[in-house]
């Protein structure tokens, strides 16, 4: 054992250190010869990502931020010009549709009657006046909210005799013009979720209305809530009678825009355009891309339906090419760091 410690191990250590030293000398002073890369010749390559047209299902929805509002009061209007002979209701009174709100009496003038006696004297008498009456009835069931007339007051056709506020509510909210493209067919109802209120429910009688050209802009909401401008559209649907809500509650209204199975689809990043029509860049067998117009269908925000212009398996650029509008059009012009463009006038000629 003493021989190993005294002679063998020291010799092995010396041999190992010698091998390491030789290797270091070889690496430092005698590197393996290799061809140096020419810095003027690019060694990398840039490839644009490509995607394929695939078949799948696509569905789209539109979410509208809205609120619960009481349906507006309906006016009971005079259908006859004349004098208010009776007021049948008062503020706060409950009425049914068709109940009498008041009565209008119109005097019908009578022609004087002339009579001649035996002596030939003519006597003219005025007959008693005749009257025509008409009842003003409640247009809807609800509570009388105002009675702006008095007995004996003269009214014209169309004047309001009383207004009736129905005990019904609606969900209303502004819808953006671009979201209307997602509604291939206007839905008849929507799904409502009231913040801090009842669970989700279906509202019916859904309508989308837009102000007509030249209409006055809406009055600003004193509460600070956002309102649609003169060019905006509004969604409205009726809250079911058995759902308890209050005016002013915030709500989210979800509209089904449509769905389709076995549709040709592409990522929205590959299409220039979001609705009706768009443009893609089709990649050919030689790797070159060609611009092509396509027709678009549903768009769920991630993928868009291609209805015309492409077939399954076609390859297109995954991202729409972007043209740098700041690049100088003339090759003899150089864009400066501050954005200005310098042109060599002698080269431009």
Helices (H), the chain: 2-3, 9-29, 177-180, 345-348
- Are 149 and 173 found together in one domain? no
CB-based contact 149:155 (threshold 8 Å): yes
Query: Are 123 and 174 within one domain?
Result: no
If asked whether residues 178 and 276 sit together in one domain, one would say: yes
Higher pLDDT, 123 or 342: 123
Same domain, 149 and 193: no
Q: Are residues 62 and 201 located together in one domain of the fold? A: yes
Task: Please tell me whether residues 90 and 56 are part of one structural domain.
Answer: no
Does residue 109 share a domain with residue 65?
no
CATH number at residue 149: 2.40.50.100
Distance of CA 119 to the CA centre of its chain: 89
* The last residue of a domain, from among 130, 165, 200: 165
- pLDDT tens column, 261-307: 888 999 988 898 888 888 999 988 888 888 899 988 888 888 888 88
**Each residue of 165-223: pLDDT tens digit?**
999 999 999 998 888 888 877 888 999 999 888 889 999 999 998 877 665 555 444 44
Split at pLDDT 50, 70, 90, the class of 225 is very low
Distance CA 173, CA 151 (A): 41
Residues 312 and 267 in one domain: yes
Q: Round to whole Å and give the CA distance between 273 and 303.
A: 12
* CA-closest candidate to residue 174, choices 245, 240, 225: 225
Are 254 and 187 in contact by the 8 Å Cβ rule? The answer is no
- Residue 117 confidence (pLDDT) above 70: yes
pLDDT at 85: 92
Instruction: Supply angle C-alpha 271, 274, 278, rounded to 5.
Output: 50
Per-residue pLDDT of 123-175, as tens digits, reads 777 778 888 999 999 999 999 999 999 999 999 999 999 999 999 999 999 99
Q: Is residue 302 part of a domain?
A: yes
Q: Give the SS3 label for residue 269.
A: helix
Which residue bears the tokens 């969900």?
171
Final residue of a domain: which of 124, 148, 165? Answer: 165
Angstrom distances, CA of residue 66 to CA of 52, 175, 194, 319, 349: 39, 9, 9, 35, 63
Structural domains of the chain, count: 2
The residue range of the domain holding 277 is 49-71+168-215+223-323
Q: What's the chain's length in residues?
A: 349
On the 0-12 / 13-18 / 19+ scale of CB atoms within 10 A, 60 is buried
- 9 domain-assigned: no
CA distances from 60 to 117, 256, 260 (A): 91, 7, 9
Backbone angles phi, psi at 71, to 5 degrees: -65, 140
Burial zone of 346 (CB within 10 Å; 0-12 exposed, 13-18 middle, 19+ buried): exposed
Pair 98, 157 in one domain:
yes
The structure tokens listed for 218 are 């809406």
Q: Are residues 243 and 192 in the same domain?
A: yes
Position 167 scores a pLDDT of: 92
Please report, rounded to a whole number, the percentage of residues in the chain having pLDDT higher than 90.
36
**The token pair that represents 111 in the structure block:** 């022609």
pLDDT value at residue 36: 59
pLDDT value of position 33: 55
Question: Is residue 198 within 8 Å of 191, Cβ to Cβ?
Answer: no
The reply to whether 148 and 259 lie within a common domain is no
User: What is residue 45's predicted lDDT score, i.e. its pLDDT?
Assistant: 58
195 and 63 within one domain: yes
Rounded to the nearest integer, the mean pLDDT of the chain is 81
pLDDT of amino acid 330: 53
């Amino acid at each position: 054992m003493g021989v190993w410690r005294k002679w063998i191990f020291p010799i092995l250590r010396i041999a190992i250190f010698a091998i390491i030293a030789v290797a270091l000398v070889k690496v430092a002073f005698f590197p393996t010869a290799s061809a140096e890369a020419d810095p003027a010749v690019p060694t990398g390559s840039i490839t644009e990502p490509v995607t394929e047209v695939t078949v799948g299902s696509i569905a789209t929805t539109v979410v509208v931020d809205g609120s619960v509002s009481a349906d507006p009061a309906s006016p009971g209007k005079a259908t006859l010009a004349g004098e208010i002979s009776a007021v049948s209701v008062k503020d706060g009174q409950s009425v049914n549709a068709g109940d009498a709100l008041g009565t209008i009496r119109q005097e019908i003038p009578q022609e004087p009657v002339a009579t001649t006696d035996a002596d030939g004297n003519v006597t003219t008498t005025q007959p008693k006046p005749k009257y025509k009456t008409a009842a003003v009835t409640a247009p809807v069931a609800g509570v009388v909210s105002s009675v702006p007339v008095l007995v004996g007051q003269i009214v014209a056709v169309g004047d309001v005799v009383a207004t009736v506020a129905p005990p019904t509510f609606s969900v209303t909210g502004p819808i953006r013009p671009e979201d209307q493209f997602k509604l291939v067919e206007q839905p008849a109802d929507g799904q409502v979720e009231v913040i801090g209120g009842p669970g989700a429910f279906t509202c019916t009688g859904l309508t989308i209305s837009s102000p007509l050209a030249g209409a006055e802009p809406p009055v600003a909401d004193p509460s600070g809530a956002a309102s649609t401008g003169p060019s905006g559209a509004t969604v409205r649907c009726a809250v079911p009678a058995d759902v308890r809500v209050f005016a002013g509650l915030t709500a989210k209204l979800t509209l089904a825009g449509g769905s389709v199975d076995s549709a040709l689809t592409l990522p929205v990043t590959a299409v220039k355009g979001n609705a009706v029509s768009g443009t893609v860049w089709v990649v050919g067998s030689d790797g070159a891309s060609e611009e092509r117009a396509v027709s678009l269908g549903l768009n769920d925000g991630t993928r868009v339906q291609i209805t015309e212009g492409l077939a399954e398996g076609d390859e297109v650029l995954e991202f729409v090419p972007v043209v740098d509008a700041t690049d100088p059009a003339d090759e003899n012009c150089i864009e400066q760091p501050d954005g200005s463009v310098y042109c060599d006038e002698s080269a431009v000629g």
